[in-house]
Amino acid sequence: MKSDLDTLVDVFDAVAARQGKRSAIEAVLAADRALRSRRKLVKASTIPDAARVIVLRVAQLHGVPVSHVIDPARRGRWLAAVRQEAAWLLHRRVGLSLHQIGRALERDHTTVLYAVRAFERRLATDEVLARRIADLTPASRAA
């Protein structure tokens, strides 16, 4: 039986394939290179594998390099929205703590908390976003 994370990864793969994104193996290798290049700020070994996968998938879906998502110097609403989505998925669907997510996104845990709450507010008001997230969420977790 598949875990919720495996199911979520499969859904992300399917969406990426529909959008014509590169293969999952190429994307994982690129994300790993980006994370390794940022080692001076965050040791890659402290970041849970689930966080790496979800950040990679969300970045792929939005057409943003992973390095932009985790770079503490990168700002802007469009990039903040991508980070908020990744933080919400990691916290609400994967169950990572705010501190773990903060390490993965190179943000403070209070910033992650704000991101999760901001994304929940957007989910409550944006029907298109809610449908897209419902499509990405495994049925076992949505119930």
- Across the range 5-15, mean pLDDT stands at 66
What pLDDT is stored for residue 140 in this prediction? 41
Q: What is the CATH number of the domain that holds 129?
A: 1.10.1750.10
What pLDDT is stored for residue 53 in this prediction? 84
Instruction: Provide the number of structural domains found in the chain.
Output: 1
Instruction: Look at residue 34 and tell me whether its pLDDT is greater than 70.
Output: no
Identify the weakest region by mean pLDDT among 13-27, 47-61, 91-105: 13-27
What pLDDT is stored for residue 127 in this prediction? 92
What pLDDT is stored for residue 135 in this prediction? 79
Distances (CA, A) of 89 to 71, 76, 116: 19, 20, 9
- The count of other CB atoms within 10 Å of the CB of residue 142 is 10
Tell which residue, 54, 56, 75, 53, has the closest CA to residue 65. 56
Enclosing domain of residue 23: 4-137
Instruction: Confirm whether 23 is domain-assigned.
Output: yes
Q: How far is CA 112 from the centre of its chain?
A: 12
Instruction: Confirm whether 93 is domain-assigned.
Output: yes
Instruction: Confirm whether 47 is domain-assigned.
Output: yes
Greatest alpha-carbon span in the chain: 41
Identify the weakest region by mean pLDDT among 21-30, 76-85, 87-96, 116-125: 21-30
Q: How far apart are CA 19 and CA 126, in angstroms?
A: 22
pTM over 0.75: no
Instruction: Confirm whether 142 is domain-assigned.
Output: no
Instruction: Confirm whether 143 is domain-assigned.
Output: no
- The count of other CB atoms within 10 Å of the CB of residue 54 is 26
